[in-house]
Amino acid sequence: GENVEQHPSTLSVQEGDSAVIKCTYSDSASNYFPWYKQELGKRPQLIIDIRSNVGEKKDQRIAVTLNKTAKHFSLHITETQPEDSAVYFCAARNLYSGGGADGLTFGKGTHLIIQP
């Protein structure tokens, strides 16, 4: 099955600086890579996703890059703000597969702390 590794587990950056979170995946059949943000006591919420036919996607201060050959993808947050503080999860999935539990395989999360 798929295995997703995520680094770092904790990331502390100064407000206004950029933050980068990296993930690697093991199953070359995975073709969908979402990123979720989870604030304390809240549900995970999708912030951006990318499919394997795209190398990069951007939405305002958030961008995701994908390297299929190396099987890794990254989340980039620029001009960080206090409200960006949360746990961020990467995930991977094969959209064309009906096997397994067909859910998302998540990384273990990154606790992003924005220092004022």
Partner 1 sequence: DTAVSQTPKYLVTQMGNDKSIKCEQNLGHDTMYWYKQDSKKFLKIMFSYNNKELIINETVPNRFSPKSPDKAHLNLHINSLELGDSAVYFCASSAKKPGTVDPRHSTDTQYFGPGTRLTVL
Pairing of the two strands 110-115 and 10-14? parallel
The correct pick among 5, 28, 102, 115 for binding partner 1 (CB under 8 A) is 102
Q: Which is nearer to partner 1, 17 or 56 (CB)?
A: 56
Q: Is 100 one of the binding residues for partner 1 (CB under 8 A)? A: yes
Residues that contact partner 1, how many (by CB under 8 A): 28
User: What HEC string does the chain produce?
Assistant: CCCEEEECCEEEEECCCCEEEEEEECCCCCCEEEEEEECCCCCCEEEEEEECCCCEEEECCEEEEEECCCCEEEEEECCCCHHHCEEEEEEEECCCCCCCCCCCEECCCEEEEEEC
The correct pick among 86, 106, 112, 114 for binding partner 1 (CB under 8 A) is 106
Q: Is 89 one of the binding residues for partner 1 (CB under 8 A)? A: yes
Footprint (CB under 8 A) of partner 1, residues 6-65: 32, 34, 36, 38, 42-46, 49, 51
Q: Is 79 one of the binding residues for partner 1 (CB under 8 A)? A: no
- For tokens 């206004």, what's the residue? 16
Instruction: Enumerate binding residues for partner 1 (CB under 8 A).
Output: 32, 34, 36, 38, 42-46, 49, 51, 87, 89, 93, 95-106, 108-109
